[in-house]
Structure 1
């Protein structure tokens, strides 16, 4: 999971950006130069595979359009440095960042509205992807270029040894988790395996991030939109309570979640799966290269999530192109956004075994199997197309995720807590967050 640290209303930064021009919306009066070099910031480790993949994509753009782009990779203190540039009224032209950053960047006045008529390939973008780039006012402020969705990884060798089929629903899922925990699937004669790997730490909201794949499949929600841009807490609905109780029972009653899950984020949880301590893991495609190397491609399989009480909706995430306010080359910004989501740009971004920029294509005209022959990637792409859902684009999603993570973590950590009472208290906290952001339904 990639999460941002940008929080708060950012009123000072917003005012600085909005006053960067003499009048009108941010960036609307900047003197235009269609030949000006574009400055692009990408939130990734300098010198790492993400930067190299970005440079490769940029080279393709430059060759196709003749326009020039300067790339800067920043990971540490990315948001702080972006705010510093905003204070100087000198934002980069383009930013590649998490899709979950839209609300914060829009509320701070850092991004400009995107005219989809100028993005020729926008009509080919998956609807849920395009919707992820809309702000509370229903205007477009981001263009997704890479997507990811969750699927279920299963120890295939364990499943076959125990004579099990891939789970079709939650009952099957719970039963497989129990068998993997009690049936000695690795054959070592010890009780040292567990059914499900789950990062349930409160750190950066991991527990909420992971649990969303189950909450939404039950028809539950963290918050529910009521009218355009207004929300109410939803963790006490019957569907949400059912999802929480079922998931909690995996740990508290069945004891099928790995020990110490409530203190684990992704890295130690990944290790339980590759070390043969857990048999199922709900996660995105980015771990396939790692697990192929450490565990062995023949030892595990990728399948869609089993159907929950409502459906099999899973979490969608990814990266978006943001066109920053105040640019002197808006035409170049538009051209870059269009290239990234075009068929050629998407295929170029997917090239490479590990150093790729695009995980799953957002352009529906792109068949991922034409670039990656591994059928597991096709499975992920099909899940994204049919079952994936993004978190809502509210001004600041971080406190919602963190607050819900605190409660989910506590309920799994302390099996004596009352589920409904804790969720009622959580809804009260969520109401406060929505009030603070000015988006609470009346």
Structure 2
């Protein structure tokens, strides 16, 4: 998740303001970067590329290899810097210092914030060679609330259930076909001693339930949609909150029951983010984890491939499964000295060579989870057929976060409301969602999108 709501602390707010002021100067000096792409700038100026990956990780190495291959193909030097913690804050600091990188590869969920802060330039699909060949839905991840595009799709991903198959089979339970069966499996993992150690030390659900970066809303969104709920109704400037509707209430009540009635969630979930949640699954604390394909390599190493299985999220009360789709875009930053080089780098990453190398076979170095270029067949690059589950979920059930001017405050408000609800077992989900809908209304009005 890699779903990334910005901090609401005063320091971050001031950093954002500084970034806005800096970008006013940047764009004034550099002019319209999109226009420069066809005629201005220094075509040989080196490119600085930031990627949101842990330094020293296999994923950083893959990005380094991609940059080297780009340089070999084009003669344009490209330097990759891997940053992970506080990526967005460091980006704002770079803007304030007038030292923005030329490109960043970052989550699709950051689109609205980057556009709002003026850090990225508009991209026209016709400007990108090969852009018309991409999976059409992937471009939705680069489209902002104004209908324009401010990034180039690079990688897609969605989520599925990682389930301890060995535990399930030991307890003699079939794979869950609906949400009731899924909750029953979680309860059995909690009370049935599936690891046979004679201790009550296992649980059903692993949930990254912290408010940091809006993680709990990131987790909840798939259940919200699958229950027939939604964040908004309407479109454009006529949006209205729907987060207190019947489907949303059903999903919220179910989440609270897991924490408070069934007690089938690994303890401490309300302060757990994804980097802390992963070990809870691989060390046998919890047996059901909705997460992405990037975890297969580490879980294979820790548990063994035969110990767990990957299952699509069963259809919810809404009659279908609708799962959060995410991924990463290549963002062309404002004020670059080499706008043509920016475009060439984005084009290289979506080409067959870039997509294939980015997939990194079946290794932990993959930075392209699901290719956005349909000419690159998943089965030709990866032998692990489990990837097909994610590919099918993405194409059949994937759904991106709402295209509003800035999704971050909505995600953060939702995460805080849900976190407070599950942390207080005396809470009233209907009242919680009603208050959240009021916060959504205020934010919509603030963004000029409410009716």
TM-score of the superposed pair, with normalisation by structure 1 = 0.91
Show the counterpart of 1:307.
Answer: 315
Do the aligned partners of residues 244 and 380 (structure 1) sit closer, same or farther apart at CA in structure 2, a change above 3 Å counting? same
Shift of 1:48: 3.2
Asked if 1 retains the 8 angstrom alpha-carbon contact of 2:203 and 2:264, the reply is yes
Q: Which whole-Å CA distance do the structure 2 matches of 1:86 and 1:201 have between them?
A: 29
Asked if 2 retains the 8 angstrom alpha-carbon contact of 1:167 and 1:306, the reply is yes
Say yes or no: does 1:408 pair with 2:418.
yes
Name which of 48, 65, 73 aligns with 1:56: 65
How many residue pairs were aligned? 438
Say yes or no: does 1:5 pair with 2:14.
no
- The C-alpha deviation readout for 1:409-441, integer Å capped at 9, x for no partner, is 1222222211111111111122222223x2332
Show the counterpart of 1:282.
Answer: 290
Say yes or no: does 1:244 pair with 2:245.
no
Show the counterpart of 2:391.
Answer: 381
Shift of 1:85: 4.2
TM-score of the superposed pair, with normalisation by structure 2 = 0.90
Greater alpha carbon shift after TM alignment, 380-389 vs 4-13: 4-13
- Give runs of aligned pairs for residues 6-405 of structure 1, distance below 5 A: 10=17, 11-21=20-30, 25=32, 28=35, 31-87=40-96, 89=98, 91-221=100-230, 223-224=231-232, 226-228=234-236, 230-310=238-318, 311-351=320-360, 353-405=363-415
Q: Which whole-Å CA distance do the structure 1 matches of 2:55 and 2:93 have between them?
A: 19
Shift of 1:137: 1.2
Shift of 1:301: 0.4
Asked if 1 retains the 8 angstrom alpha-carbon contact of 2:241 and 2:437, the reply is yes
Shift of 1:26: 5.2
Matched residue SS, 2:35: coil
Asked if 2 retains the 8 angstrom alpha-carbon contact of 1:126 and 1:385, the reply is no
Asked if 1 retains the 8 angstrom alpha-carbon contact of 2:26 and 2:98, the reply is yes
- The C-alpha deviation readout for 1:138-180, integer Å capped at 9, x for no partner, is 1111112122211001111121122222112112212212222
Shift of 1:4: 5.5
Asked if 2 retains the 8 angstrom alpha-carbon contact of 1:13 and 1:83, the reply is no
Greater alpha carbon shift after TM alignment, 337-346 vs 123-132: 123-132
Shift of 1:104: 1.4
- The C-alpha deviation readout for 1:204-255, integer Å capped at 9, x for no partner, is 322211111211111212x315222553222111111111112222222222
Shift of 1:21: 4.0
Shift of 1:59: 1.9
Greater alpha carbon shift after TM alignment, 382-391 vs 180-189: 180-189
What 5-or-longer segments of structure 2 have no aligned partner?
none
Q: Which whole-Å CA distance do the structure 2 matches of 1:441 and 1:349 have between them?
A: 40
Matched residue SS, 2:130: helix
> Which runs of structure 1 show a deviation greater than 6 angstroms over 4 or more consecutive aligned residues?
none
Q: Which whole-Å CA distance do the structure 1 matches of 2:424 and 2:394 have between them?
A: 34
Matched residue SS, 1:120: coil
Do the aligned partners of residues 269 and 324 (structure 1) sit closer, same or farther apart at CA in structure 2, a change above 3 Å counting? closer
